[in-house]
Amino acid sequence: MDLFTIIAILTTICALFAYVNFRFLKLPTTIGLMLIALISSILIMIVGQFNTFVLEEVTLLISNIDFPQVLLEVLLSFLLFAGALHTDMDLMREQKWSILSFATLGVLISTFLMGGLFFYILPILGFQLPFIHCLLLGALLSPTDPIAVLGILKEAKIPKKLEIVVTGESLFNDGVGVVIFLTILQIATLGPTEVTPAEVALLFGEEVGGGIVLGFGLGYITYLLMRSIDHYQTEVLLSLALVMGGYSLASALHFSGPLAVVVAGLFIGNRGRAEAMSSETVEYLDKFWELVDESLNALLFVLIGLEMVIIPFLENYWIAGLVGIVIGLAARFVSVYLPILFLRRSVNFMPRTPLIMTWGGLRGGISIALALSLPLAMDRGIILSITYSVVIFSILIQGLTLGPIVKQIKVKYGL
């Protein structure tokens, strides 16, 4: 099946699912599209029990799509930039210590806590995973997915200060989480004796520091170019070049592409919007990136739903998946509660912040993509199944109930 045919089929499916959701279900876009895709996958598998042709064709279509490459090398850069473009930098600066703590310390706490829990609990269920593989599972589940989080936050209506913390955390912990995952993967591949602490520190510094510096530099250059003209078509094109060229350059330099794109998006969305663009350019730029965001979000969550066809968790690992959901929530709670405990004297958190951040810490396509990128020899089957279970639960159950939970807390505390 050629590339154009795959894109044409997926685009048609997305458009039809979006219509059904908007016309009948009226759910938040990300939730509605993934729910319809999941139901379609289940129906396809049921039909496949009687007629294998349909199941084989859908399986072939999904198998031809390299999900990690599509998300990590194509969709992610556009979606992160679109999210960062509309994030208020002044509000983020006010909450910088909270965001920094959750995006770094919180991810590390969650990674090792989840890794330890999986290592000791999975054998009780009859699954034996080496500790380093459990750490990989913890690393890919620890970052909250900015794509899922930003989509759900639009509907949840949480207080602005907490919203900016959750948004900022999700934008930055993605890059940090990927670096931690790659570091643990390197240790798992080469062995702990082959990877020194100095090499780990160098990898982390190069990926994170390099990504931030590159993003700032490219954002500043694009800002100067935009300030020198007033032509919205060219300025929109410059923003597109910033995302695609910047992400590609970061990958070539072994810097964190997600962090580079986020920093560039924050720079353009704040200083660029205020000083380098006319009101006409701002309007067209916002509309363009909103359309890109909505279209690619639809594609991503439809893909997540359809991936169910090729994941074996229903047959072999559904119990491990349910346990993974509980472990993920417990680790998330601890990883946000400890930084809040540490910062409570200097930061005024709203009541029930740990609960809201735990339930609002959604996992999404990034976790699935990282799981799919693992070699088969690293227990990819069970890791992928647990990851998929956690992602489905977080988006459908947590995503649908976050708004009502926040509403109850606001009423109870008069917020």
Asked whether residue 52 is assigned to any structural domain, the reply reads yes
Asked whether residue 45 is assigned to any structural domain, the reply reads yes
Give the count of domains, the chain: 2
57 with 154, same domain: the answer is no
**Smallest Cα–Cα separation from 72: which of 136, 154, 166, 140?**
140
143 with 31, same domain: the answer is no
Q: How far is CA 278 from the centre of its chain?
A: 32
46 with 140, same domain: the answer is no
| C-alpha to C-alpha distance for 230 and 18, rounded to whole angstroms | 35
| C-alpha to C-alpha distance for 362 and 252, rounded to whole angstroms | 30
* pLDDT for the residue numbered 314: 57
| C-alpha to C-alpha distance for 261 and 79, rounded to whole angstroms | 9
* pLDDT for the residue numbered 415: 64
* pLDDT for the residue numbered 84: 93
What stretches of 49-196 show up as alpha helix (H) in DSSP?
Answer: 52-63, 67-70, 76-85, 89-94, 96-103, 105-121, 131-141, 146-156, 160-190
* pLDDT for the residue numbered 296: 92
Asked whether residue 146 is assigned to any structural domain, the reply reads yes
33 with 84, same domain: the answer is no
Query: Residue 382 corresponds to which amino acid?
Result: I
The phi, psi pair for 340, rounded to 5°, reads -65, -40
Q: What is the pTM of this model?
A: 0.92
122: domain CATH number is 1.20.1530.20
Query: Residue 203 corresponds to which amino acid?
Result: L
Structure tokens at 76: 């992610």
- Residue that has been written with the tokens 């082959």 in this structure: 194
* pLDDT for the residue numbered 313: 62
Asked whether residue 167 is assigned to any structural domain, the reply reads yes
43 with 114, same domain: the answer is no
Range of the domain at 35: 4-11+22-62
305 with 400, same domain: the answer is yes
334 with 222, same domain: the answer is yes
Asked whether residue 36 is assigned to any structural domain, the reply reads yes
240 with 373, same domain: the answer is yes
103 with 52, same domain: the answer is no
265 with 370, same domain: the answer is yes
> pLDDT (tens digit, 9 = 90+) per residue, 19-76?
999 999 998 888 899 999 999 999 998 998 888 888 888 898 898 899 999 998 889 9
Structure tokens at 333: 């709670």
Which element (helix H / strand E) includes 387?
Answer: helix 380-393
94 with 224, same domain: the answer is yes
**Cβ 31 vs Cβ 395: under 8 Å:** yes
Asked whether residue 336 is assigned to any structural domain, the reply reads yes
45 with 194, same domain: the answer is no
Asked whether residue 17 is assigned to any structural domain, the reply reads no
Asked whether residue 16 is assigned to any structural domain, the reply reads no
Under-50 pLDDT residues of the chain = none
